[in-house]
Amino acid sequence: MSTVRRPDHRSEQHGSHRSARSSHSAGLRHVLTHLITPLLMCIGMGLAYLGAFANPAPHHLPVAVVGSGRSAQLLAQSINDKADGDLEVRTVADRSAAVDRLKHQEIFGAYVIHAQGATVGASAKGASVKGASANEASADGVSKGATHTKSARKSAAEGAGGAGAAGGSAKRVPELLVATAGSDTSASVVQKVFTPIAAHQGAPLKVTDVAPPAEDDPTGQGIFFLLVAISIGSYASVAVIGGAGAVLPVRLRAALAIGTSFVVSLIGTAFAGPVFHLVDHGLRGLWGMAWLYSAGILLIGTGLHTFLKRWTTLGVMALFVMLNFTSSGGIFRPEMQNGFFAALHSFWNGAGFVEGTRSHVYFDDFGLPGHVWTLVWWLVAGLLMVGVAALAERRRRAVEAEAAANATAVAAAAVAATVPEPRPERGSRAARSAGTAGAMESDGVVEADVADAAEAEVEMEEAVGV
């Protein structure tokens, strides 16, 4: 009877299946761990964009009524009372003062009352009697006009019908002054507020834009989408510099970040000027702000990569997309957003770029130094972040070198403890070893070393039980 044991194929199959299940489980854990990043991006983008843009409404939006008489003051007061904090209505003495405040972005709309007292014939009596009471009554639709487009259009239509039925009246048309280059959405809200007021006065509303955007950017929102393009080029480059360039020293990565920001800013300037004609002048200033903006993002991201590693993409998206685009003022100004995003608008870098570009291109550089300083401080923050990353990596390398040295010493000690000391040699071999101690440079040294090595190997085999 043969004593040879046949291989157990069932055991081998069971072991292979168990190994496969183990590898699949490890791969699944790896995938699920990496899925956390896009899911957090989804949550963050939803909270940021819907929180900032889903329900825009005016919050203390500054507007003005032009006039120094009692009727202008009554109208401004009645609008303030009915607006319930949505608007901040003030009076200005004349039209030129209103235009000046619009160009300084102190207000976002100015209502010029031309209709009062400008009547002829049978309608003169009705106009003189209704005076201030018409102004007070017209304010009833202010809050609704600020939030409901349909009601504003309905009031305007009724007012237009009443004006047509007036027959021989010759009223001067009331005028609304806006600056759409500052914010097209704010100008639209202001128009919805004052359209029913003009309708109650029995006249259509004339809208005059004192600061229109470029011809090829009728809504003025092209600057915001330029911000998006520059931001994506910047923070996407962070992943390449931080990931593929991780083996490079920090100073070289910082140099790559600054060089990349230069290229990204040139691309953005080309988009704004010769490609899409978003602006018709001021390209040099726009390029300077684009470079400051892009360099700040790249340097901050490069520094953060030292600490966040694979979470860097999520981190820069939170900083320069979720919180940045929503607070930039490119779609809705802070007066149309909640307090959180309105507060971010005062110091975030995206707001500095958008408002700085608007100021430089459309508002004669008014307020430009403050916006440029915002971008400069973000660039300084990027330089500081890179400096902190350099110190952290230097300390990390020192710790790793010390750990490697300790590990080498421990391994050497373990080997020395494992190998037994050579036994005392006898007879002719001991005499030969003693004789060769003083003749290390002779031909017999090599033969003795070979013999000793062979003996040590034999002893090592015996020690480990081979």
Q: Is the pLDDT of residue 192 over 90?
A: yes
* pLDDT score at 128: 31
Tell me what the mean pLDDT of segment 107-111 comes to.
Answer: 96
Q: For 217-251, write each residue's pLDDT tens digit.
A: 999 999 999 999 999 999 999 999 988 888 999 99
Tell me what the mean pLDDT of segment 382-392 comes to.
Answer: 97
CA atoms within 13 A on the CB side of 288: 12
- Read off the pLDDT band of 4 (50, 70, 90): low
- Read off the pLDDT band of 9 (50, 70, 90): low
* pLDDT score at 85: 87
Q: Is the pLDDT of residue 461 over 80?
A: no
* pLDDT score at 163: 38
Other beta carbons within 10 angstroms of residue 200's beta carbon come to 22
Contact 272, 347 (CB under 8 A): no
Rounded to the nearest integer, the mean pLDDT of the chain is 81
19-23, 276-280, 422-426: which is most confident:
276-280
Distance in angstroms (rounded) separating the CA atoms of residues 173 and 134:
15
- Read off the pLDDT band of 46 (50, 70, 90): very high
Contact 142, 82 (CB under 8 A): yes
Candidate from 88-92, 398-402, 430-434 with smallest mean pLDDT: 430-434
Of residues 299 and 9, more confidence is placed in 299
Helix (H) and strand (E) counts in the chain: 17, 5
Of residues 120 and 92, more confidence is placed in 92
Q: Is the pLDDT of residue 428 over 90?
A: no
- The closest of 4, 100, 104, 106 to 60, measured between CA atoms, is 106
* pLDDT score at 27: 86
Q: Residue length, the chain?
A: 466
Please list, residue by residue across 275-309, b when 16 or more beta carbons sit within 10 angstroms of its beta carbon and e when fewer do.
Answer: eeebbeebbebbbbbbbbbbbbbbbbbbbbbbeee
Of residues 111 and 68, more confidence is placed in 111
- The closest of 227, 289, 301, 288 to 257, measured between CA atoms, is 301
* pLDDT score at 3: 57
Q: Are strands 110-112 and 175-178 parallel, antiparallel or unpaired?
A: antiparallel
Domain boundaries defined on the chain: 61-209, 222-398, 427-464
User: What is the share, in percent, of the chain residues with pLDDT greater than 90?
Assistant: 60
Q: For 299-337, write each residue's pLDDT tens digit.
A: 999 999 999 998 999 999 999 999 999 999 999 999 999
Q: Is the pLDDT of residue 150 over 80?
A: no
Q: Is the pLDDT of residue 138 over 70?
A: no
* pLDDT score at 135: 45
Tell me what the mean pLDDT of segment 417-425 comes to.
Answer: 66
* pLDDT score at 383: 97
- Looking at residue 371, its amino acid is H
Residue 176 parent element (H or E): strand 175-178
Q: Is the pLDDT of residue 123 over 50?
A: no
Q: Is the pLDDT of residue 381 over 70?
A: yes
Cα separation values, 409 from 324, 404, 406, 417, 446, Å: 51, 9, 5, 12, 29
Of residues 29 and 10, more confidence is placed in 29
For the entire predicted model, the pTM comes to: 0.76
